[in-house]
Structure 1
């Protein structure tokens, strides 16, 4: 599912040659306190467990084996601050293409959303030193109702129970997408090129993925 979008991204990345894009920094301006949220679980899905993060480093093209548990969602952060050409990260799992960008990059996505196709190997194509980290749900910022978060690039949020919609804005010359993943649904909510502003249904608890390495964006849950 995750890579159903990859084709869209590859088409638009050809025009994304700016060297100052790709940073998945997040700034939260909360009008409501950010409360801890429990990971989603049902008898039909594995219960999320606390898993120690795993970190891998390299320089240029490389490959590493992942020891991440096959039955656990993971959240993959890739950082290549001095990359100056195409950056691609692929896996042998269901989300085989995790990163496809140009220039320096920092962002977060997810993996192991398809339990029957877990990630065991990650392949990196880059021209500078990089760090790759896989962490569990505790590493994610929480998108609480009444709190606006802004950022740039790829990012994942935990959406707590009680949230029903998310107002999303983006400024970009390229493609931007928003995905939701929960016990009940895994769906592509937004897939557009250029600036946009819309409200989408996101029922918590869930995870929200923003994809768009060139995009500056805001999300406001309610």
Structure 2
């Protein structure tokens, strides 16, 4: 009975295509195609990749892909997967926790690797929960803090401040005040004497009387060294 690789190679030769053409049509690298035809499955990175390429190549050649994959699984079983954490017997003997097993339903027990994984997952969950709680607590401000931060500081103005008491006047108010204080009947461009005559004022202004009489007798004050 021919091997899986020989079956693939005979089907390709019957199809009359080269390895390069078959690789491009099946969307497989040429070196992986040669590994399949020569039964070199250890060249693949994983057992899963070998099965996937075998299925694609068999479908391109028109063979029964499901039958070839089942035959490949029976003849080349997947190797046992290695545990993520390698624990030696010496480590088990030194640590009483690693040497114990946790009973579960059905009489089975969790291995030390499973216990480590569960413990790590629980610790990570607690850390994430605590971090989320503190983040939410820090992001929510108190009501008093909001009120104090929303009120802007204001400077109280004194009562005699010209700005607050309205002492400052606008240009329009100054203009209106000046127009009110200006005399309405002041003559412009006229002689003052003619204006006075028109109002019935006398032509001559009487002279003012002196404050003291000019012919008043003089009073002499006797000197100190003079004899009477």
The two structures have a TM-score, normalised by structure 1, of 0.19
In terms of fraction of residues, the more helix-rich structure is 2
Q: Look at both structures and tell me which one has the larger radius of gyration over its CA atoms.
A: 2
The two structures have a TM-score, normalised by structure 2, of 0.19
Larger RCO, structures 1/2 (Cα 8 Å, 6+ apart): 1
